Structure 1
Amino acid sequence: MRATLVQAGLRGLSTAQVRQVRAVRYGAADEKVARVYRELERDFGVLAPPIALHAPSPDVLAGAWLMLRETLLVPGTAPRAQKEAVSTAVSETNNCPFCISMHSSMLIDLVGYHDGALREPEARAAAAWATANATPDEGAGHPVPFPVEQAAEMVGTAVVLQYLNRMVNIFLGELPLPPGAPAASMTVVRRVLVWLIKSAERQGPRPGASLDLLPDAPLPEDMKWAEGHAAIAGAYARGAAAIEGAGRRSVPAEVRSLVLEHLEHWDGRPMGVSRAWVEDAVAGLAADQRDAGRLALLTALASYQIDQSVLDRFRAGSPDDRSLIDLTSWSSLAAARRVGSWMRFRPEDAPRPPAASTTPE
């Protein structure tokens, strides 16, 4: 009862954090959005802004929720601490202050720090694996610190954070606070949020309980890491199909092709501070597609470079909120899927010591 009262009190503060689109308030949501909101409070512990921001596009909202729920929140064989370590490491790689604050708070509560390092060696190894696998070349030579039966949970957690980091960088502030709240209040906010999240975890969210939010779909080839885990495979198949549909609905085919072409040659590393690269890239698009192309490329490859001018130029041609969520979600997942496609998740991928020499000295 106490957690329920706190959740109700935080609803308005959660939606107040959403920027760039009109937030859908808890009491004003239609049934499809309202169901996701209720499940967020039940299984996450709070109406989490990184998911709630998707509400202007309800099918995308459902897809983002399914991917997060089944990987990070549903208890599996991978410990929550290791998944929070992955979440924090991915968020640090993508320079997402909001997500770093949320996931590091949970991680510290679970395992603690000692002499500036995580106390639990398994959590440290999981974080190091996530950081290394942000690029294909470093991941190729890094140990895989978990058994293959945990691959769907671990890779799935990394992929959904790759996705959410990009969306959060566009639609939320640097801290999980409503506008005008003093940064000093974060100490109390962190304590309350961790308490709510842990309270929800103790309820034991059931695998697959939310899959009926979206119709069944085939698992894409680049998500074969989810095979063998029915609920996670189902969540990613459904989520990917919904977000692909949003892309077809709101992103010109030429823009989607341009983003996929750049992702094919991307090595996971930051694009730098200059935006000259994106202007060169969109120059080949038709004039009426360049604003969408610019936003889509920056979302996928450099969400930290997006400023108000980029969003305003896109809005001039596509003023509705759903189109903005559709485009950014499609681009974010395209990039996240690209990272997931090169992540090493089998123990046999780990580097082996050199064989003993049989050649006489």
Structure 2
Amino acid sequence: MSTPFRYTTPAPPKSATGRVAEVYRQLGDDFGIEEASTFVVLSSAPELLGPTWALMRESLIAGAGTRIDRELVAAGVSLANRCPFCVDAHTVLLHATGDHGLAESLARGETPADERHARLLDWGRATRVPGSPALVPTPFPRAEAAAHIGTALSFHFINRIVSALLTDNLLPAGAQRLRTVRSLAGRSLTRTVTRAHAPGASLALLDDPGPGPAWAAGTTVGPAYAALSTAASMGAGLLDDVDLGLVHEVVADWDGTHPPLAWDELPDRDRRPGARLALLAALAPYRITDEDVAAWLKPPFTDHCLVHLIAYGAFVAVDRIESALPLPALLETS
């Protein structure tokens, strides 16, 4: 039987214990999909799974503002990152909010008719470009800044995990391409998506994460972001100093564009497979191939290691985006 997992074999969710089981429980309660493959693929690394869920929950699900607004930001990020799985997911979730017309305009690749909705989608897209001038003024008030910024950064990470480690199909056989299926799938989630969710429920899954960055001060988004930063940095131990230096140098110079097919900075698969995977995860995860993974995923490396290496590369890109945010302007104008 085919699975959505490209390179790993996660344990069945029903066998989960401890914090992994608690993440699945919260997924069922607050996301509506207990065995969402986006999170199951991280289950071999519980120290990553918890923070990834926490950041998405505290920003997209329980953040300030409306769920429609945050879904549009997440959809804009996913479009900018060329992640069809996540674009389809946000289309379904927009159906769940009850705005079926908006959901289908996204599915058709159209600009939303509502000017503010269009601005939110474009703002999400603009976050891929570090320091983009299109980020200000913001299409949301200052009180909602942490939720929207957290949502954007959450999906810059999740998009890269999904593109690297899952297939493009949100539903079996690509059934989400059918309008009727998208609508029905969304309606099945309406009760969960439209319910109010109290902030903070996921923070018990985190180990002393710290308050987080200034843009999230005083919110539950901050500790979740801090925890994910700490967990993702663990993957650095899978690369030597030379490879780490290359990854950071290339990403530090990145301007948000998608790398060309003839990408001179991309290391050779046979000589530096780890650096190659990390750089692809950061800037073009949809270009990771079976051969790229096979060149690196050899004993003693395991699924756990692969997830950590991909997460490391993904978060290097997230950190590049986050560190370039025009915070004074964002927080003054939002």
Q: Could you state the TM-score of these two structures normalised by the residue count of structure 1? A: 0.81
1:150 corresponds in structure 2 to 144
Which amino acid in the other structure matches residue 292 of structure 1? G
- 1:299-318 mapped onto 2 (5 Å cutoff): 299-316=281-298, 318=300
2:262 corresponds in structure 1 to 274
Q: Is the 8 A contact 1:151 1:225 kept in 2?
A: yes
Q: Does 1:233 align with 2:230?
A: no
Q: Does 1:193 align with 2:181?
A: no
Q: Is the 8 A contact 2:142 2:332 kept in 1?
A: no
| Range with bigger deviation, 138-147 or 52-61 | 138-147
1:204 corresponds in structure 2 to 196
2:250 alignment partner, one of 262, 279, 284: 262
1:134 alignment partner, one of 128, 143, 149: 128
Following the alignment from structure 2 to structure 1, what is the Cα–Cα distance between the partners of residues 111 and 281?
32
Following the alignment from structure 2 to structure 1, what is the Cα–Cα distance between the partners of residues 249 and 300?
24
SS in structure 1 of the partner of residue 266 of structure 2 = helix
- 1:34-113 mapped onto 2 (5 Å cutoff): 34-46=21-33, 47-74=35-62, 76-107=63-94, 110=97, 111=99, 112-113=101-102
Which amino acid in the other structure matches residue 291 of structure 1? P
1:265-309, Cα deviation, whole Å (9 max, x unpaired): 1111111223443027x99xxx5xx11111011111111221111
Q: Is the 8 A contact 2:232 2:312 kept in 1?
A: yes
Which amino acid in the other structure matches residue 192 of structure 2? A
Q: Which has the larger radius of gyration?
A: 1
2:320 corresponds in structure 1 to 338
1:217 alignment partner, one of 164, 189, 209: 209
- What is the number of residues matched between the two proteins? 325
Q: Is the 8 A contact 2:145 2:331 kept in 1?
A: no
- Deviation of 1:197 after TM superposition, in Å, equals 3.2
1:133-183, Cα deviation, whole Å (9 max, x unpaired): 3214643574311122211111111111111111111111112123xx364
Q: Could you state the TM-score of these two structures normalised by the residue count of structure 2? A: 0.87
Gaps of 5+ in 1: 1-11, 351-361
Following the alignment from structure 2 to structure 1, what is the Cα–Cα distance between the partners of residues 84 and 176?
16
| Structure 1 residues 140 and 99, CA gap change in structure 2 (3 angstroms) | closer
1:125 corresponds in structure 2 to 119
1:292 alignment partner, one of 254, 262, 274: 274
- 1:175-190 mapped onto 2 (5 Å cutoff): 175-178=169-172, 181=173, 183=175, 186-187=178-179, 189-190=181-182
Following the alignment from structure 1 to structure 2, what is the Cα–Cα distance between the partners of residues 70 and 53?
20
Percent pairwise identity = 29
- Deviation of 1:80 after TM superposition, in Å, equals 0.9
Following the alignment from structure 1 to structure 2, what is the Cα–Cα distance between the partners of residues 194 and 80?
14
Following the alignment from structure 1 to structure 2, what is the Cα–Cα distance between the partners of residues 95 and 293?
22
| Root-mean-square deviation (Å) | 2.8
1:79-122, Cα deviation, whole Å (9 max, x unpaired): 11111111111111111010011112323564424794324332
Following the alignment from structure 1 to structure 2, what is the Cα–Cα distance between the partners of residues 340 and 212?
25
Gaps of 5+ in 2: none
1:243 corresponds in structure 2 to 232
Following the alignment from structure 1 to structure 2, what is the Cα–Cα distance between the partners of residues 126 and 141?
10
1:329 corresponds in structure 2 to 311
Following the alignment from structure 1 to structure 2, what is the Cα–Cα distance between the partners of residues 296 and 337?
14
| Structure 1 residues 202 and 160, CA gap change in structure 2 (3 angstroms) | same
SS in structure 2 of the partner of residue 55 of structure 1 = coil
SS in structure 2 of the partner of residue 228 of structure 1 = coil
